[in-house]
Chain A
Amino acid sequence: MQIDRRLISHFDWTLLLLALAFVFIGVATIYSANYDIVRQQAGALPGRQLTWLGLGLVALFAALAFDYHYIDRIVYPFYGAMLLLLLLVFFVGHSGGGSQRWINLGFFRLQPSEPAKIAVVLVMAKYFQDDEPARGYYLRDLWAPFALAAPLVLLTLIQPDLGTAIILGFVFISMVLMGGLRTRSFLYLVGAGLAFLPVGWHFSKPYQRNRILTFLDPDRDPLGAGYHVIQSQIAIGSGRFFGKGYLHGTQNRLDFLPAQHTDFIFAVFSEEWGFLGCLILLLLFFALIVYCLRIVQRAKDRFGALLVFGMTAIFFWHATINVAMVAGILPVVGVPLPLVSYGGSALASLMFAIGVIMNVSMRRFIF
């Protein structure tokens, strides 16, 4: 394939630099979270995350090398592969923290539920790329997308990985709404969801229930389930305006914080960089989302617009749910901060997503 010179001139540097900024903020914060006061150095985690970044860049360039219309052809094989991997987790999966999420590939451990998020976007973009009916979609028109998304959500839910399942669900709903579901049908869906809440409660694990109950009433169990939320809020709050300085977060240093380098990395960051740092980080996320929404609007066709929208939804839901959870306004569900939290499968998948957005962005002028 010949590389069009116009492609290079339209290369989306803004997006790439924005993504790299998040990753470097992430690596620096992981370094702090992983810092050993006694030995005056961090463990292996920041280095590992950088290795993952390398793999992520490969994924990114793979995602933008070919015209995104080629993606249309690999959607179902990709989807099938994700389904297979998620099933495989149950047979050869590794357990950690009470759930079975990983497949050991020798040199690293793959968490298939991360690329599964990409699969949902691809499948939905393919399904909705044709023009929607003028009356909009009724729920009964959409049995196929539901049937495609449900196995992915259910398989992550029973691992159990509630956080990822919620992201998958939210991304799916976002895509369906963007694809043209009637507002009224959407409200029916919300109503049905609320009606099923008790059923979900019945099937949830005790620790998940604890988190919900703790969120509703933090005093219920301040020493057990409520402990993390309280400690996380102390970390954020004590950062005040300017923060305590890099590597000087005491909550972090003395291991008061849970999952410092993964789900609660925002607490580590806020403690050390204060409100100012948080504001910049949140504005960066806001900029990313707005920038991507611009690309949605400028895409040259529905397929491209939907691809970008879906990937943007992944970033948006991750970022807002994570920050809200760490700041104590949502129950604790395991959702990482995108591109910032430690985690290889997630980083590589998200870099791939950035690559897809860049792909659509740089090809919007070409016909």
Chain B
Amino acid sequence: MAVLTGINRQDGAPKLRARAQWLYVLVALIFLGLIARLVVLQLVQGERYTFLSENNRVRIKRVPGTRGMIFDREGQLLVDSRPSFDLIFTPEDADDASETLRRLARYLGRDEKELLASVEGSKERLAFEELALGKDVDWPTVVAVETHQLDLPGITLRVRPRRNYADGPSGAHVLGYLGEIGTKQLKTLKDQGYALGDEIGQYGLERRWDGFLRGQSGGQQVEVDALGRRVRVLHEVADVPGYTVRLTLDRELQETAYAALQGKEGTIVALDVNSGAVLAMVSTPAFNPNQFARGIKADEWRALIKDQLRPLSNRATQGQYPPGSTFKIVMSIAGLEEGVLQPENRISDPGFYYFGNRAFRDWKKDGHGAVDLHRAIVESCDVYFYQLGPRLGIDAIAKWARALGLGEKTGIALDDEKGGTVPDSEWKVKRFHQPWYPGETVSVAIGQGYLTVTPLQMANMMATVANGGTLYRPWIVSRVESVTGALIRQFGPEKIRHTEIKPDTLERVRNGLADVVKTPAGTGGAARSNLVDIAGKTGTAQVVEMKGAYIKSEQLAYFNRDHAWFVSYAPVQNPQIAVAVLIEHGGHGGSVAAPMAKKVIEKFIEQQNRPAGAREARAAGESRAN
């Protein structure tokens, strides 16, 4: 009976018993270790921890990194962050909240009831949540609060960097603005260190380059005393300021363009012909980004988004307009390059052109008479290009429009750019499930019909014509630097494509464009300058189709009036700058848009003629002043 003897000896598990013997020691040691830890926390350091906890005086402060500055191409400051003071009240820190507020009202000369009401109104807040009694308060308030700090328990001043846009609305659409991060944005950006309440670029460069500009948040776990004053910092993580961003934009040109556009809805884009660098980009009506910096009010925001004139849209990159007669530049190049055009051949223009049984009118009622290519460009003869349209065919026209950068996004580093439309037969089938009708080619030939372009594309097209066929991607940011000036990123010209264009073609088109401005018969005489020879082309884009009647644009309802175009480059010899101007419902390009392009170009030439030393000194002076 082996089983029985086993039981009798009560020898259930001898090996386990022996092992368990060791465990008493092990368990005792581990518990002693835990107790030792409690001795340290509760007895040795107990006083310190009591101090920290009993008064609940530990505050968390997240300090966003100071946002980077933005400079123009000559080192002039466009955007920086200045300190601003918010008046903060934490009722838990005051012995008697209403007494504190009464005193504050007295010191500031503010209405006592109004202050009390602002606190009463936020009953929903969490314990120790700070109440903002005033944002970006003025200097006398700061001084008053600082002076009477001891009488005002619970009242503190919080310093916050506030974005400051030196020139207000003139750069609004390019520079953009900041706003508090949205819940949706936060979800996708949480991993990148964004937190609730952070400001984030919501538009323009501020948005597209947010990653470079914003820096890294730091934070402090701060101990404060019973009066809400900071005693010391328990833990601190230093914030890292954002990078400085240098632009290709020129502040003076930007200002000039903005001044020229005052009172109009439109846009001016100026590009460096030989690199695609954006020298100026203004869109009006503009908004004031400083409004966003100080915290935009709900009704201001509502007014902005409801405004029929759409101040929030960047017309240079997002406005899509028929190019009107400015498209004749593309038509001329296409005609010459495809060998369809004999430039010296004259056609006769009776003032209309029949295609099928439909009559297409010239803008000049009685026609231009006998016209060759040169005259057709200079006087913007519609009939000449009407008859050229069907001879080229829509697909050849589209091919050349695209070669010059129309109908596709330029890829500029600004969000929500539009591409415009360059129609061809394939597009028509895809879009409307209908074949292309040759009659539609006649409209496209003078820049109407389905054809739409953005002003940025038109400026880029002019730059391409001026530099002999190289299409650059327009760029705005030239350098990203750390605060110490170390180079982080550098950007330069980027070729999208180069299109071979015969020298003869280029010369004929360029001569035509120069004479548009120079000769008395030219449509762009208003752009004639004493400083420099300008080449350009006017355009008037119809918004509604005139059925038969000759109605002056001025007689139409405002939103039905024509858009005015002027696209240009200068100097005629050795071109440097290309400028596109579009004025919505502005009427005739020659009279409205051309003088604006001239102003910008003249400003540019003035700068070129200034001695180099003077400009550097000015830039240095500006940066020292900051």
Q: Are A178's CB and B60's CB within 8 A?
A: no
CB–CB B20/A297 < 8 A: yes
- Which among B13, B21, B45, B47 has the greatest number of chain A C-beta atoms within 10 A? B13
Please state if A309 and B16 are interface contacts (CB–CB under 8 Å): yes
Contact of B221 among A222, A285, A296, A323 (CB under 8 A): A222
| Cα-based distance from A320 to B21 in the complex (angstroms) | 19
Contact with B along A179-201 (1 / 0, CB 8 A): 01000000000000000000000
Given contacts A238-B49, A300-B10, contact A309 B20 (CB under 8 A): yes
Pick from A254, A299, A323: contact of B127, CB under 8 Å: A254
Q: Is B234 an interface residue (CB 8 A)?
A: yes
The answer to whether A240 and B43 have CB atoms under 8 Å apart is yes
The residue that B16 contacts in the complex, of A234, A285, A305, A328, with Cβ under 8 A, is A305
From A132, A237, A367, B42 is in contact (CB under 8 Å) with: A237
B405-446 CB mask vs A (1 if < 8 Å, else 0) is 000000000000000000000000000000000000000000
B550 part of interface (Cβ distance < 8 Å): no
Query: Is residue A233 contacting chain B, with contact meaning CB distance below 8 A?
Result: yes
Q: Which one of A233, A244, A279, A289 lies within 8 Å of B27 (CB-CB)?
A: A289
Cβ of A28 under 8 Å from chain B: no
Given contacts A233-B49, A240-B43, contact A221 B237 (CB under 8 A): yes
Given contacts A223-B219, A254-B127, contact A327 B41 (CB under 8 A): yes
Chain B interface extent, by class:
35 or more
Does A250 interact with chain B (Cβ within 8 Å)? yes
Distance, CA A226 to CA B38, complexed state (A):
19
A89 to B513, CA, bound (A): 75
Q: Which residues in A have their C-beta under 8 angstroms from that of B56? A: 250, 254, 256
A94 is an interface residue with CB less than 8 A from chain B: no
> Contacts A278-B38, A279-B35: A293 and B24 contacting too (C-beta < 8 A)?
yes
A274 at the interface (CB under 8 A from B): yes
A222 to B61, CA, bound (A): 11
Partner of A327, one of B17, B24, B37, B236: B37
Instruction: List the B side residues contacting A29 at CB < 8 Å.
Output: none
CA distance A180 to B18 in the complex (A): 11
Is the CB of B48 closer than 8 A to any CB of chain A?
yes
Q: Which of these, B12, B50, B221, contacts A304 with CB under 8 Å?
A: B12
Q: Is B53 an interface residue (CB 8 A)?
A: yes
- Knowing A237-B48, A304-B12 touch, does A223 contact B42 (C-beta < 8 A)? no
Say whether A68 faces chain B, with CB atoms less than 8 Å apart: no
The answer to whether the Cβ of A112 comes within 8 Å of any Cβ in the partner chain is no
**Which residue of chain A has the shortest Cβ distance to B35 in the bound complex?**
A282
Annotate B14-37 by CB proximity to A: 1 below 8 A, 0 otherwise.
011101110110011011001101
Residues facing B in A278-295 (CB within 8 A) are 278-279, 282, 285-286, 289-290, 293
Partner of B38, one of A227, A251, A275, A298: A275
Q: Is A302's CB under 8 angstroms from B42's CB? A: no
Among A234, A302, A305, which residue has its beta carbon within 8 angstroms of that of B53? A234
Task: Return chain B residues, CB-CB under 8 Å to A300.
Answer: 7, 10, 12
A236-B24 contact given A219-B235, A296-B16, CB 8 Å threshold: no
What per-residue 1/0 map shows which CB atoms of B335-377 lie under 8 Å from chain A?
0000000000000000000000000000000000000000000
With A237-B48, A250-B54, A301-B13 known as contacts, the answer to whether A286 contacts B28 (CB < 8 A) is: yes
Contacts of A350 in B (CB 8 A): none
- Bound together, the chains give a CA A320 to CA B33 distance in angstroms of 10
B21 contacts which chain A residues (CB < 8 A)? 297
Chain A neighbourhood of B10, CB < 8 A:
300
10 contacts between A and B (CB under 8 A): A219-B235, A236-B49, A250-B54, A254-B56, A282-B38, A298-B12, A300-B10, A300-B12, A301-B12, A323-B34
- Known contacts A230-B221, A279-B38; 12 additional CB pairs below 8 A are A234-B58, A237-B48, A237-B53, A241-B46, A250-B53, A254-B128, A270-B42, A275-B46, A282-B35, A305-B12, A309-B16, A320-B30
Q: Would you list the 3 A-B pairs with minimal beta carbon distance, nearest first? A: A237-B49, A222-B235, A238-B53
